[in-house]
Amino acid sequence: MVCYPRKLRIVGGAFAAALLAVAVLGWFALPQHLRDQFTVFQILTLLVFLAAIIAVIAMVALSVVRADAEVVTVRNGIRTHRLAWRQVHAVIYRQGDPWPTLLVGDPDDPHRQLVLGIQRTDGDRSVRAVTALRELHARAQSPS
């Protein structure tokens, strides 16, 4: 099973493109005498901030979850977590949660692993993905 945030990718891509277009159009909309007042350092600073914003959008939009009978791999932004199902205690996705979480680690003191690859904004698609995750989890937990 592979799932990624479809609507977030569309909206994130559109927002990043719009931000880039506004920045370029805004630059060329300035009169030449104002553009001439910017130093190279100031221009580079603006470009770095623009790149950082677009990078954050891309990192979140490129989140993905992959799961099979043995492991679940969650990539949130630049971090990837590969977990054996035996490390996962529960798949939590309550009404109103923006994304599911996995309870992992010590059973007495588990921590939450966000699963940004599944987003509530994807509607029924997200519910089906969580159902598939729960089924894989249940199969891995049952003795063979």
Residue 144 pLDDT grade (very low, low, confident, very high; cuts 50, 70, 90) = low
Distance separating alpha carbons of residues 80 and 74, to the nearest angstrom: 6
Q: Is the pTM of this model over 0.75?
A: yes
Strands (E) in the chain, as ranges, are 2-3, 64-67, 71-76, 79-84, 88-92, 101-104, 111-114
Distance separating alpha carbons of residues 20 and 15, to the nearest angstrom: 9
- What is the pLDDT, as a whole number, of residue 107? 83
For the chain, domains (ranges, CATH) are: 1-144 (2.30.29.30)
% of the chain surpassing 90 pLDDT: 92
Average pLDDT over residues 125-131: 97
Cα 107 to chain centroid, rounded? 26
Distance separating alpha carbons of residues 37 and 30, to the nearest angstrom: 11
Residue 39 DSSP symbol: -
